[in-house]
A and B are shown apart, each in its own frame.
Chain A
Amino acid sequence: MPFPILTFIVFLPLLGAVLILFTPKNKSVLIKTIATAVTGMALLLSIWLALRFDHLDPAMQFKELCPWIPQLNIFYHLGTDGISIGLIFLTTLLGFFACIASYGIETRQKEYFFLYLLLNTGMLGTFAALDLFLFYVFWEVVLVPMYFLIGIWGGPRKEYAAIKFFIYTLAGSVFMLLAILALYFTSNPHTFNMLELADSGNTLAKGLQILIFIGFYLGFAVKVPVFPFHTWLPDAHVEAPTPISVLLAGVLLKMGGYGFFRISFPILKDAAIYFALPFAILGMINIVYGAFVAMAQTDFKKMVAYSSVSHMGFVMLGLASMTTTGFNGALMQMFNHGTITGGMFLLVGVLYDRAHTRDLNKFGGLGVKMPVYGGILTVFTLASLGLPGLSGFVSEFLSLVGAFFGFKLITTISVLGIVITAGYFLYMIQRVLLGPLNHAWVNISDISKRELFTLIPLMIVTIAIGVYPMFLLNYQSAAIGGLIYKIGGVLF
């Protein structure tokens, strides 16, 4: 049997969590060391996975299959292809750096790192699972630690935000459960295997496909989040502690998008084609509406939270296009948004730790006092607003090009979203970094080494992909090509 690398990546954090459970709670250094070690090892393993990954093969690689509940044909089935490998890497990357960013957590550390690692296992498992039952288990496992992480270590309205997040996501995902069951019973022989379902699901009658598609949609759309299911996001993102906001924006939102790529589109292609126009319209609403709402915010973190709504709109738009270019853009946007917005939340956290406020109107002239911070914030801001040469531009551009093929008017309106985005981000830079120094912040210190250590790698990824997008595209294009071919999209 080959080395079960995916199992190790997924369950290393859980192993760490169990170890932490048996560590005395006053051994703070030991707890942090365990957490850093396991997330670091998961990151190294996922880099190794990426190096050994065969770019040209659109099929599943590193597959692991063993029976779990044979009576119901449920398997422990993991694997990765061009669609999930980027997200697995992203999860381990953010998982490791957010873990280091968590050193600032001072209360109830043992519980924090236990839950944090459990969350990591849930997220990684969601991206690696190829059995719908297993997928659902991991998907739900994510909710519980996230509830505690927001609810215990969050801001002033943490309890409200935590329960809202939980109930919203659960409400979406139970419909997904029904959709999973419907797929199971319409396949012959009954199976939860996503790969087999991708072959049999498409033979279903269109009406049934549409019904099942809606079930999955409710589960995924809440996570993405697609308008009008986005209202949990600003609450959860704002109240969560910084490292958890990073994972929320960086990874959790991608679980929804990934679900469309892995389940909804390949398995229910007729329904996907049927819903292309609504997807495009919703994507457009997300982009433009999210941007406008972000512009109105005075809370720095809330602004970044709404910018996520806007940016995830490009994923919807790219998916709606049914073209190779659009799909590549959408998938890439998920990765890029993860690194850029992850970085943005870290930067917000850096400022909040020093100033204990996030009110944009209370800053001003910080560029003088915090030059390094100012530089990094500018890079991430420019990446986020889509400046060519940085990664955000590439993926947004590809999504728009792909979508323009089929939806000219919608794409044109969506492009306006970029202008608004530029508007609110530059306005933010102006209020935080430029202008006369607000005297409240005379003694503010610049970014620390630990904070730099968490931000620099994300910045390198952002610039590298912006300059040479093929780093990422190489991984995903074969799988995207295969997907487009299978669902009869346009190879453009």
Chain B
Amino acid sequence: MSVIESVRYILPEIILTGFALVSLILGLFVKKKGLLGALCLAGIALAVLSLQESYKAASPLFSGMLLNDSFSEFFKEISLLVTGLVILISMGYRSFSDEDSGEYYFLLLLTAVAMMFAVSSNNLIMIYISLEAVSLISYILVGFLKRDIRSSEGALKYFLFGALSTGIMLYGISFIYGLFGTTDLSAISAALGSGNVNNFTAFISLMLILSGLCFKCALVPFHMWVPDAYQGAPTPITALISSGPKAIGFAVLIRIFLKNFFPLFPNWVDIITVISIFTMTAGNLIAISQDNIKRMLGYSSIAQAGYILIGFAVGTPRGVEGSLLYILAYVLMNLGAFGCVVLISNSIKSDGIENYAGLYKKDPAIAFMLTLFLLSLAGIPPLAGFLGKFLVFAAAIESKFIFLAVAGVINSVVAMYYYLRVIKFMYLDEPPGTFEAQAQPICLQIALIVALAGVLIIGLFPLPFLDWIAASLL
């Protein structure tokens, strides 16, 4: 499809970009994070509406650069959901001043645009550019608290690791171009099907691309940046980078590996299996000893990526379905947990887990919600996280990945310990002194209620969600 004809299919992205620019300009005059946030939410809402209108295009757009299939629609909706919730959380984040809010929302909305392009890219170069855009904006956002040394340190680490791994990824893409003479995924897929390709070289270049994506999804051994970046970043940004780019990374993984390079599946399956096991195990074991809740949730999110990877490693439709549901559940429970962290840090001014002692007395509603999010992350039924684990383990058992499934369940027992530790502080210990209840920003509460409702509904009545996911894989 020609460029002019294609434009109307990227209407949501155009709307978001427009709102981002408006927010940037308006931010010069209106220094109110609530007002600008509401404007951006309106932009997200419009984007969601236009996404539903005439979304699907039968043929690739922009001369094969983008592909608006139902798979990318699913992830675009996830991107918008994440960005919307993060905006709500940001509006209620006290450590963040009204001064820079125009710039901040501008960057947030552009992340959404970049994520939406990343999931619909059908060309390796396009994938590279949009992922790079997501990363570059994330680096800035992580370092957004300019006067906080930890924020800058986190951003620098994130940037250095990111630069290295995207470099490796680009190297891999150059090999692919050398092999196939094109970076268009459909063309590569067709060439692979015909069979006259050097599988070994293709495999090596795929592994280089995998390294870049491992960084995005924070998979072992490319996870080193996570704890410092997560701890240093403003908490709403931690919520964003631990859910949005991670989900997008998985979308791209699935699109490249399972949708287009599937003939090489036997070559990489063992590698992915090993990465999955190491990711879960490392994330869980290190999380146990963390005293800062953001670091702990950071390591926990590494472990969660390991579980999501189980479904991907299995590679069957059931496995991918499991991974997709897990991603949806993960995004909600993770954002919910970070939202609670923001709320709590607003009132107790600390992210230390031991400072959560006796939270049930200070703020029973938040303690209760955080407990549900943590139990969902741990995979206790009937919450969404359980269903996600159930589906990926089911896929592993069905395809005889017994070892992977056993590693997964043992890991979920280990993980239970550190989630329970937070719950223990909140409920089993008494608060250290007197306290005063504080009024909490309403937008933050809305974000938490949305996330909680999602976690409960997906866990109890998953029927429409499973249908939605099944449709997105058609």
Contacts and interface: CB of A to CB of B under 8 A. Distances in A.
Interface string A172-210: 001101100110110000000000000000000000000
Interface string B384-424: 00100010011001100000011001101100110010001
Contact of B467 (A71, A152, A181, A182): A71
B398 A144 contact: no
A181 B375 contact: no
Interface residues of A, number: 32
A151 B426 CA distance: 12
B466 A181 contact: no
Interface string A259-284: 00000000000000000000000000
B262 interface: no
Contacts of A167: 413, 416-417
A140 B381 contact: yes
B375 A144 contact: yes
Nearest to A211: B402
Given A174-B409, A178-B406, A159 B397 contact: no
A133 B386 CA distance: 11
Nearest to B398: A185
B428 A158 contact: yes
B428 A71 contact: no
Contacts of B397: 178, 181-182, 185
Contacts of B416: 166-167, 170
A151 B380 contact: no
A171 B467 CA distance: 32
Contacts of A232: none
A143 interface: yes
A284 B352 CA distance: 49
Contacts of A170: 412-413, 416
B394 A181 contact: yes
B413 A174 contact: yes
The residue in A141, A151, A167, A174 that gathers the most chain B C-beta atoms within 10 A of its C-beta is A174
A174 B409 CA distance: 6
B409 A152 contact: no
Nearest to B381: A137
A402 B405 CA distance: 39
Contacts of B412: 170, 174
Nearest to B416: A170
A179 B117 CA distance: 42
Contacts, number: 73
Contact of B470 (A69, A71, A133, A140): A71
A2 interface: no
B382 interface: yes
Contacts of A148: 427-428
The residue in B382, B416, B417 that gathers the most chain A C-beta atoms within 10 A of its C-beta is B416
A103 interface: no
A136 B393 CA distance: 14
A163 interface: yes
The residue in B360, B412, B428, B463 that gathers the most chain A C-beta atoms within 10 A of its C-beta is B428
B462 interface: yes
A220 interface: no
A185 B391 CA distance: 12
A428 to B, nearest CB: 32
Contacts of A97: none
A147 interface: yes
A185 B395 CA distance: 10
B417 A70 contact: no
Nearest to A148: B427
A490 B420 CA distance: 47
Interface in B367-383: 375, 380-382
Interface in A209-235: none
The residue in A148, A151, A158, A170 that gathers the most chain B C-beta atoms within 10 A of its C-beta is A170
Nearest to B396: A181
Contacts of A182: 397
A178 B380 contact: no
B410 A174 contact: yes
Contacts of B420: 147, 163, 166
B260 to A, nearest CB: 26
A142 B382 CA distance: 11
B406 A151 contact: no
A70 B470 CA distance: 13
Given A167-B417, A177-B390, A151 B381 contact: no
Contacts of B424: 151, 159, 163
Contact of B381 (A69, A72, A136): A136
Given A167-B413, A178-B405, A184 B394 contact: yes
Contact of A143 (B360, B380, B467): B380
Nearest to B469: A71
A339 B382 CA distance: 30
Interface in B135-191: none
Contacts of A143: 380
Contacts of B382: 137, 141
Nearest to B467: A71
Nearest to A158: B428
A171 B413 contact: yes
B430 to A, nearest CB: 10
A167 B375 CA distance: 13
A323 B455 CA distance: 47
A166 to B, nearest CB: 6
A137 B386 CA distance: 9
Contacts of B393: 177-178, 181
A175 B409 contact: yes
Interface in A364-422: none
A118 to B, nearest CB: 12
Contacts of A144: 375, 380
Interface in A148-163: 148, 151-152, 158-159, 162-163
Contacts of B466: 69, 71-72
B469 to A, nearest CB: 10
Nearest to B389: A177
The residue in A71, A133, A143, A182 that gathers the most chain B C-beta atoms within 10 A of its C-beta is A71
Interface in A42-77: 69-72
Contacts of B405: 178, 181
Given A177-B409, A178-B405, A152 B428 contact: yes
A182 B47 CA distance: 43
Contacts of B360: 111
Contact of B463 (A70, A175, A185): A70
A387 to B, nearest CB: 41
A121 to B, nearest CB: 11
Nearest to B459: A137
Nearest to A67: B463
B412 to A, nearest CB: 6
Contact of A69 (B398, B409, B410, B463): B463
14 contacts: A71-B466, A137-B386, A140-B380, A143-B380, A144-B375, A144-B380, A147-B420, A152-B427, A163-B424, A171-B410, A174-B413, A177-B409, A178-B393, A181-B397
Interface of A: 69-72, 111, 133, 136-137, 140-141, 143-144, 147-148, 151-152, 158-159, 162-163, 166-167, 170-171, 174-175, 177-178, 181-182, 184-185
Q: Which 7 A-B pairs have the closest CB atoms?
A: A174-B409, A137-B381, A181-B397, A171-B413, A71-B466, A151-B428, A185-B398
Given A137-B382, A167-B416, 4 more contacts: A133-B390, A158-B428, A171-B410, A185-B397
